[in-house]
Structure 1
Amino acid sequence: MDANVEAFHATLREDFSTEVVRSVNRRLESLLGQDALSEDERRELRAFLGASVVNPDQVRAAVRVLQDEREFYHYPSYRQAVEHIVGWMKAISTLGFPGQFAHGFTLSSDAGFNLSSIADLTDPAILEKICRPFGTYLDYELPSRCLDGEYEVIGINVTYTQQLPFALYAARKIRESCPDAWIICGGTEVSDAWKYMDDRDRFFEVFSPFDICVIGEGESAFTEILKARGNGILPAATANVMIHPNLGGRGRALPVLHYEDIKNLTTPSYEKLPWHLYLAPHRFVYYTPSRGCYWNKCTFCDYGLNGDSPTSPWRQDPVGKTLDDLERISKFSQYVYFSVDVLAPATLLKIAQGIVDRGIDVRWSAEIRLEKYWSPERADLLKRSGCVAVSVGFESGNDRVLKLIDKGTTTQQTLQTVQNMRAAGLGVQMMAFTGFPGETLEEAFDTTDFLRRNRHLWTIGGVGTFGLTPGSIVAKEPDRFGIKNLRPRAGDDIHRELDYDDPAGHGNEQPELAKARQTLNVSPPWRPWVGGTDTPHALFYHGRFGPSMIEEISEEDYSEKLGEWPGTWSVNGRMVSAPGGSTFSFVRNDGVLVRVSKLSARILSTLGKRSVSLADLESSYGYSRQDLEPLIRLRLITPDTVPSRVPATAPRATLHKAPSKLGHE
């Protein structure tokens, strides 16, 4: 089962969603009725204002849009559906830590808890509050299904850090229903928690609900665990396995790590996943024909249980086995992402030729290195084999920084390879970052300038910021990179990233640089939506529209553009924020700052720019009374609202001049 998507759908049931709306409205009225708010209450009000514009019926309709092929590829419909779902996640987050789902499905890092703190991860009250938005599913439905199945072994995969509190809470609830089952866990986050934990003797403080944890690659370990359970013994000698002290693992260190001989692994089985629940019109699978990285030199990398190398040891399937797997997978799904660190170019070319020779019908994408190997002819073969996009970590637009990274390429080679891919009709997803140790501000702008100059060559991607992880070469050799005082972040017991001093660097706090990065990111830039690199939705859009998908999702082609921004029109308040994200800010005439969704901003834009009345909105523009109610409740419009046009030369409102219950932003 996929508890992620099942828990989401559980929130949309009529009884639960109705109570969410009532809860939001009650608390919002209470906050808006107060004369003064504390800092925590101001933060809470921001979250509740973002949640107050959500209509569960529209969210349920949004799910249907994303599952309908015609609607999915009509970008205005798609984008509005995404906004409704992101808004719904904000709404249900008010049941837990308000704002914990600020950007959709990902837990916010500043919502009031620390996922790298053992104290927070072991606090039952914090875990319960984080999980409260999915309480009905995690408290009752999931444990009941495990009990009904009479399972002897129940496994939970934890891929991302943001899934960890839900996994810990779910395991406790399953334990209450299934006290005799072995509850086990594995996945990237479990391995990372062990890898980065300051004191590994405390590992089972965090993972106390689990009997057994798999550290590292898990195929062999999992099958050995099943065999041990069937034989009534503990998997005491199994590599990559940690056994809870209560089950007999006290004092037992992790055995030697085992890396799978992947050519002996069978084709993954995807058939039993709940495909009818996913927010997509097509099936999509992740497939892994290699592990590790054949280059394995980049000084910032720190992937997997990698020892002294940037990544785990590099291994790859024989080409024939990969093609056999793809033939089987293609009968189930035509969309495949090669979920690997990076594919070796010669191997990938042989796979592409084999797909063509065998006539395998797939649309695929993968991450590649920007090698000279990718000539126009070879890029064309990728296209003919069904490749619709490639992802490239070009990292920096400055050759000196690329040498520090040990990337093994140059900006000129990057440009040539990207040109070849684009000429072949492939989408190119570009990934880079600024703030590498010792990078100057001018060198950072080389990266943003490179992407801006060549915007016609890439589809989605953008520029992030450098983060120092303990296992990287940079962290292991700080003097080589001119950084000092490496230290854990305050409050962290799991040291996923380190703070450090960089006397020669610029940092990433320069406003001009932050603005340059932001303008390059396709909106919405977060996963799992079209704007996110390597997402299923992005692959679908690449497959349908090719490299021209960027034009399909461009605001310039958005048929429901929001008007002139900022501050050129007014309806009982002044717009003060330019488009960006999924919420917009207004200062009401009484000086109170309120946030509204893009749908509500569109309604206000319609009123202000076209001077229509509220009565016209439903008959002429298709907005319902339900669409208007959040704006009336926030007193941005009234039943007798008269739109007021603001001259373009009028002074523009700024937040710091407006008295606001939410304070300055």
Structure 2
Amino acid sequence: MDVLLSSDKIRNTCAEIENRLSTGKNTIGSGENHEEVYSRLNWAREVIERENMVQNVEWAKSTLKSKGFYEIDDYVECWKIIDRWLQAFGMLYYPSEISIADNSMRYSVYSSEDVIKAVNDKHENPYHSLFDEHIMDSLTNDGLDLLGISVTATSQVMPAFTLASLVKEKNRDIHITMGGSVFTKLIDNLQQNHLLFDLVDSFIVFEGEHALLGLIEQLNGKKDFSKVPNLVYKEGKRIRVNQPFHIEDINELPTPDYDGFPLDRYLSPRRVLPLQGSRGCYWRKCTFCNLHVDNLKFRLRNLDLVLEDIDRLKEKYSMEYMFFSDECMPVKQLDSVSSRLIAKKNNIKWMAGVRFDKGLTKDILSKAREAGCLKMVFGLESSNKRILSLMDKGIETEITKNIIDNCDKTGIAIHMYVIVGFPSETREEALETLDFVISNDKFLNSKGSSCLACLFELEKHAPILRDPGKYGLTKIGHPKHDDLSLGYFYETDGGMTPEESGEVYEYVRSEIDKRLPIFPYNFSMSDGLLYLDQQPP
């Protein structure tokens, strides 16, 4: 992002657009899309010139790193400027698109053949030139032996394999390993997929601390990769998966080390660092969710170590704001952490993901607020009793209402996720959840409230797949060429069809957005945390 937002990049992009337009309409693009490509490049040129992008992007960057960040009108305008610039830049690679929210190509991230095509498509893959011009020299000229690339979201798949391909072109001796939750969910797919091993030497699945250490030891020694835990690699013509999978003792792990991260380049006036107090989900029952796959069992980190982590991060990185990145913090842990932070007078502002657990009392919420908690993130998903039962959420709407009320009384902001289109859900049931959100004045009027509606997706490894008939699922499948599929298309014998769910989802999202503006709280959790504290630098 730092490179993309540089003045040199904007000027060079503008020159490239001018160069392409000067060659004439019929020489731009291919096939029947000459007119479309020419039109989009024209739009990009007009936007860059009209909005004086070089100066405006510089203003946006400096504003977001200063006290101007806290002026909401300026904050919104900064991100709109950056978004328009990214869209304009993306026109060089049409039909690929880039924005502050996402990046997309016409190639599918769920198909290894498409991944290979995207990696080799210099005309439509923006990462090819970006990495080649700005990253490759530093990676390949420093005697690098091992390159690790983490992929935690599908939006990172194309950039990751593009980088891997470029590195292999320069130096095939560099061992490239990829890790992250995406590949943990694709272990069985990787065993059948030889194409990706032309770009990558190995994959690390599940947890990576001991795996990465073991890989380094073998690269320095006998290269016996069978001894590296959690490794997927190719040996001759066979793809091997090292089992049993290693589960980390999180009490043996050190405090997170953020050295090497360009923390000062982030578009924020203050640092918000993530910290885990646990791994996995202690509930592990939600039928729609496959996050349990990432961690083979739930583990709590010793409370003394968590407090030690906080002290070290404060000292080393001047951390004032923190996000507990646990999937959901148990109530007892929340209570204990809060008590210890109060006793230490730590003066850290933080947020955490929790459940609408009946044990989350007003007293515990009050204690958390006194300890510096400014916001909690909840999965509401639905307020309909039947749907909640099918989801196996283990929450009750009356308890949820009570917790929302107590958060309001104690001064803790709330973010809620809702799901639209769970199999067999009717339009009326979906709108019941919408009404629960938009009719709760205390929630809507509380500072920092946010809510994100999500369209149900039938994800690989979700418990719902163990008994699809129970949920009225029929004709489950995915496109034949999608050998990296993380989900399925489906039909139902009751409730809304997937198409109807999509329409209702758009309506629910628009109704929520009318009442809860996207910026800043629904746009960025970390930015929202800073806004709740309102302490300019």
User: Alpha-carbon deviations, 1:339-365, whole Å to 9, x = none?
Assistant: 121111101110111111112231111
SS at the partner of 1:298? coil
Query: Structure 1 segments of 4 or more deviating over 6 A?
Result: 522-526
Does the aligned pair in 2 maintain the 1:388–1:539 contact within 8 Å?
A: yes
Determine the C-alpha separation between the residues in 2 that align with 1:468 and 1:385: 39
Match of 2:226 among 209, 230, 236: 236
Tell me whether 1:387 sits opposite 2:381 in the alignment.
Answer: no
User: Alpha-carbon deviations, 1:552-579, whole Å to 9, x = none?
Assistant: xxxxxxxxxxxxxxxxxxxxxxxxxxxx
Alignment-derived partner of residue 335 in structure 1:
321
Does the aligned pair in 1 maintain the 2:21–2:41 contact within 8 Å?
A: no
User: Alpha-carbon deviations, 1:501-527, whole Å to 9, x = none?
Assistant: 11211135445663232220379988x
Name the stretch that deviates more: 416-425 or 227-236. 227-236
User: Alpha-carbon deviations, 1:450-506, whole Å to 9, x = none?
Assistant: 111015315112322111112111122101112111111464222212111112111
Determine the C-alpha separation between the residues in 1 that align with 2:531 and 2:426: 37
Determine the C-alpha separation between the residues in 2 that align with 1:25 and 1:525: 38
User: Alpha-carbon deviations, 1:384-419, whole Å to 9, x = none?
Assistant: 111110000010021111111111111111111111
Determine the C-alpha separation between the residues in 2 that align with 1:131 and 1:350: 49
Does the aligned pair in 2 maintain the 1:374–1:420 contact within 8 Å?
A: no
Alignment-derived partner of residue 191 in structure 2:
200
Determine the C-alpha separation between the residues in 2 that align with 1:286 and 1:90: 29
Tell me whether 1:83 sits opposite 2:69 in the alignment.
Answer: no
Does the aligned pair in 1 maintain the 2:424–2:494 contact within 8 Å?
A: yes
Tell me, which stretches of 5 or more residues in structure 1 are unaligned? Answer: 546-665
Determine the C-alpha separation between the residues in 2 that align with 1:515 and 1:215: 38
Match of 2:520 among 501, 511, 530: 530
Alignment-derived partner of residue 153 in structure 1:
146
Structure of greater Rg: 1
TM-aligned CA distance change 1:351 to 1:313, over 3 Å: same
Alignment-derived partner of residue 596 in structure 1:
none
Match of 1:451 among 434, 437, 441: 437
Does the aligned pair in 2 maintain the 1:287–1:339 contact within 8 Å?
A: yes
Alignment-derived partner of residue 89 in structure 2:
92
Shift of 1:43: 8.3
Does the aligned pair in 2 maintain the 1:47–1:94 contact within 8 Å?
A: yes
Map 1:360-439; keep pairs closer than 5 Å.
360-439=346-425
SS at the partner of 1:94? helix
TM-aligned CA distance change 1:401 to 1:411, over 3 Å: same
The residue identity in structure 1 corresponding to 2:301 is D
Shift of 1:176: 3.0
Shift of 1:126: 5.2
Match of 1:16 among 4, 9, 12: 12
Alignment-derived partner of residue 281 in structure 1:
269
Map 1:112-261; keep pairs closer than 5 Å.
112-123=106-117, 127-132=121-126, 134-194=127-187, 197=189, 200-202=191-193, 204-245=194-235, 250-261=238-249
Does the aligned pair in 1 maintain the 2:107–2:118 contact within 8 Å?
A: no
Does the aligned pair in 1 maintain the 2:136–2:167 contact within 8 Å?
A: yes
The residue identity in structure 2 corresponding to 1:433 is I
Does the aligned pair in 2 maintain the 1:432–1:462 contact within 8 Å?
A: yes
Does the aligned pair in 1 maintain the 2:415–2:451 contact within 8 Å?
A: yes
TM-aligned CA distance change 1:45 to 1:519, over 3 Å: farther
TM-score (norm 2): 0.89
SS at the partner of 2:238? coil
Name the stretch that deviates more: 460-469 or 12-21. 12-21
The residue identity in structure 2 corresponding to 1:13 is K
SS at the partner of 1:156? strand
Determine the C-alpha separation between the residues in 2 that align with 1:93 and 1:251: 37
Determine the C-alpha separation between the residues in 2 that align with 1:480 and 1:90: 44
User: Alpha-carbon deviations, 1:283-338, whole Å to 9, x = none?
Assistant: 121111211111111111111536xxxx6411110111111111111232111111
Does the aligned pair in 2 maintain the 1:128–1:169 contact within 8 Å?
A: no
Does the aligned pair in 1 maintain the 2:232–2:242 contact within 8 Å?
A: yes
Determine the C-alpha separation between the residues in 1 that align with 2:530 and 2:298: 29
Does the aligned pair in 1 maintain the 2:424–2:471 contact within 8 Å?
A: yes
User: Alpha-carbon deviations, 1:239-284, whole Å to 9, x = none?
Assistant: 2112234xx5834333222221111110011132112221111112
TM-aligned CA distance change 1:200 to 1:179, over 3 Å: closer
Determine the C-alpha separation between the residues in 2 that align with 1:302 and 1:120: 25
TM-aligned CA distance change 1:136 to 1:117, over 3 Å: closer
Alignment-derived partner of residue 304 in structure 2:
320
Map 1:283-322; keep pairs closer than 5 Å.
283-303=271-291, 305=293, 312-322=296-306
TM-aligned CA distance change 1:406 to 1:150, over 3 Å: same
Shift of 1:441: 1.1
Does the aligned pair in 1 maintain the 2:491–2:498 contact within 8 Å?
A: no
TM-aligned CA distance change 1:315 to 1:106, over 3 Å: same
SS at the partner of 1:116? coil
The Cα RMSD (Å) is 2.8
Determine the C-alpha separation between the residues in 2 that align with 1:522 and 1:249: 56
Alignment-derived partner of residue 56 in structure 2:
58
Residue identity over aligned pairs, in percent, reads 23
Determine the C-alpha separation between the residues in 2 that align with 1:77 and 1:513: 30
Shift of 1:425: 0.7
Does the aligned pair in 2 maintain the 1:24–1:94 contact within 8 Å?
A: no
SS at the partner of 1:397? coil
Shift of 1:52: 3.9
Determine the C-alpha separation between the residues in 2 that align with 1:304 and 1:40: 47
The residue identity in structure 2 corresponding to 1:16 is N
TM-aligned CA distance change 1:161 to 1:233, over 3 Å: same
Determine the C-alpha separation between the residues in 2 that align with 1:40 and 1:117: 28
The residue identity in structure 1 corresponding to 2:533 is G
The residue identity in structure 2 corresponding to 1:61 is W
Does the aligned pair in 2 maintain the 1:437–1:505 contact within 8 Å?
A: yes
Determine the C-alpha separation between the residues in 1 that align with 2:210 and 2:533: 35
